[in-house]
Structure 1
Amino acid sequence: MFTLVYQDPDFLVINKHPGVSVHKDDNEQPLLAAVAAQTGDAQLYLIHRLDKMTSGLLLLGRHRQAASELSACFAERSVEKFYLAIGSKKPKKKQGVVMGDMTRSRRSSWKLESSKTNPAITQFFSTTAGEGRRLFLCKPHTGKTHQIRVALRSVGSGIIGDDIYGSEAADRGYLHAYALRFTYQGTLRQFICPPEPGVLWQSPEVQSALQGWSSPWDLSWPKVAMK
């Protein structure tokens, strides 16, 4: 279900495995219970969420005060989040910003609108992932439901293995929470978690790109122009 990445007296960082839900099931949270069983915590607090298909870094508070402070960091958008994704084909643009309001569509899906009343904002770079596919490094500024999945669909490259917005089946959904950076109680914290498992992550093109993206916060990101 998870791999423990880092332990602090106030919080934990785990690598959530793909296909694992962070939501409550009959008032229980199996993932948090499994982590607590390993670390000996009586109670853990979910600070933010990842979709079931998404693997990667997830932050958990170890007590109520830490959870409150860390949740405030996310609410204030002072946490830098970086995601990796593999799309099915070359996008309409290789890098840039996707911005627009998100509204409900069919069933469990969302769609991107041209309006910008309360927009989802996602910066991205992309490069070849081999065999006509595309590797994306995304930096969301907002935390909307399905934000990155909808953003990449909107530029013409739905995520491989995404059963809602994608068009290519695979051994998993190829979206991964790759890095986190935030300041907690005056100290800068930063975490990187390379993606695994997944056959497509192992291609030479993807592995080469990850070497160049080893410090995503230091890249010259496309500018966000708010109007």
Structure 2
Amino acid sequence: MTEEDLLARLIYRDGLMLILNKPFGIPVHRGPKGGEFLEGAFHHLRFGLPRNPALAHRLDKDTSGCLVLGRHHKALEKLGVLFKAGSIDKTYWAVVEGGPAEAQGLIDLALVRRDATRGWWMKVDPLGAPSQTRWTVLGRADGLTWLALEPLTGRTHQLRVHCQAMGWPILGDPIYGTAPRDGGPGLHLHARAIAVPLYKNKDPIQAEAPPPEHMLAHLAALGFAGDPPPREQA
């Protein structure tokens, strides 16, 4: 990504932390087959510091939205403690096939790696790690449902596996859903909002990321009217 591309995706910046709107389809780390990866452009985000910022957590290649970076080692340590303690509130938007009958609920299904040959593919297993996701219906239309998903734990692929296990896989998921490996509609999972209690005696820092282009048509059909334009700074 160019410096202009990356700066256009910067949602929040202070002395400790950056929050980016991660693009769909680009991995955060360098992959074994090469190709573009987000960390490769972090030198554009130094803003005068001697080292690049670094990831405080990660999102899957095909998940877009709020991605938190620490600007230096002490910031990363502080953010790491907050993420590990579950102190950071995250809200994802998903468009799922079918959907729940209720308006809201909680998925409480333990997860474990599927097997050693499948990398980080996961499955439901009562002997696995405890995993919980709170969900709320935001819209329904044409056999699809727009959900707000709040992961209360941070397991790999948690939201994707939980939705599949409930019988409403995320639209465009080629691993846990019905989408083909190539040429599908793209994973309809977006890290919409995050709240980071970074500073004592201050309200959490809150950020929202506009959804990616490939999700807009389905979200509009489900009732999303679009984000208001950003307010100009005084």
Q: In 2, Cα distance between the equivalents of 1:28 and 1:158? A: 28
1:203 aligns with 2:220: yes
Unaligned runs of at least 5 residues, structure 2: 228-234
Q: CA deviation at 1:130?
A: 2.4
Letter of the structure 2 residue corresponding to residue 83 of structure 1: Y
> Which shows bigger deviation, 196-205 or 131-140?
196-205
Give the Cα separation in 2 of the matches to 1:181 and 1:63: 20
Please give the per-residue CA displacement for 1:71-96, whole angstroms capped at 9, x wherever unaligned.
11001111001100000112365421
> Number of paired residues?
209
| Counterpart position of 1:218 | none
Percent identity over the alignment is 31
2:230 paired residue number: none
With 35-44 and 117-126 compared, the bigger mean Cα shift is at 35-44
Q: Which residue identity does 1:87 align to in structure 2?
A: V
Q: Which of 160, 178, 203 is the matching residue for 1:167?
A: 178
Q: Could you say what secondary structure the match of 1:153 adopts?
A: helix
* 2:29/2:39 contact within 8 Å kept: no
Query: Which residue in 1 is equivalent to 2:17?
Result: 11
Query: What is residue 197 of structure 2 aligned with on the other side?
Result: 183
Q: Distance in 1 between matches of 2:45 and 2:14?
A: 14
Residue 29 of structure 1: how far off its partner (Å): 8.7
Give the C-alpha shift of residue 28 in structure 1: 11
The equivalent residue for 2:231 is none
1:192 to 172, 185, 208: 208
CA pair 127-28 structure 1, distance change in 2 beyond 3 A: closer
Correspondence for 1:110: 122
Q: CA deviation at 1:146?
A: 0.3
Q: Tell me which residue corresponds to 2:143.
A: 132
In the alignment, structure 1 segments of 5+ residues that lack a partner are 212-227
Residue 55 (structure 1) aligns with: 64
C-alpha distance in structure 2 between counterparts of 1:119 and 1:62, whole Å: 31
Letter in 2 for 1:34: A
SS in 2 for 1:69: helix
The CA deviation string for residues 194-224 of structure 1, in whole angstroms up to 9 with x for no partner, is 212114344242415x88xxxxxxxxxxxxx
TM-score, length-scaled by structure 2: 0.80
Paired with 2:143 and 2:114, the residues of 1 have a C-alpha distance of: 29
Listed one character per residue, the Cα deviations across residues 101-145 of structure 1 (whole Å, up to 9, x for unaligned) are 1122263421113x3763111000124342211111011011100
Q: Deviation of residue 38 (structure 1)?
A: 4.7
Contact 2:95 2:219 in 1 (8 A): no
> Structure 1: which amino acid aligns with 2:208?
I
Post-superposition, which runs of at least 4 consecutive aligned residues in structure 1 deviate over 6 A? Answer: 26-29
RMSD of equivalent CA atoms: 2.5
Structure 1 Cα separation of the partners of residues 35 and 186 of structure 2: 25
After TM superposition, the score normalised by the length of structure 1 is 0.82
Q: Give, in whole Å, the separation in 1 of the partners of 2:152 and 2:162.
A: 12
Q: Distance in 1 between matches of 2:127 and 2:196?
A: 27
Amino acid at match of 1:156: G
1:90 aligns with 2:94: no
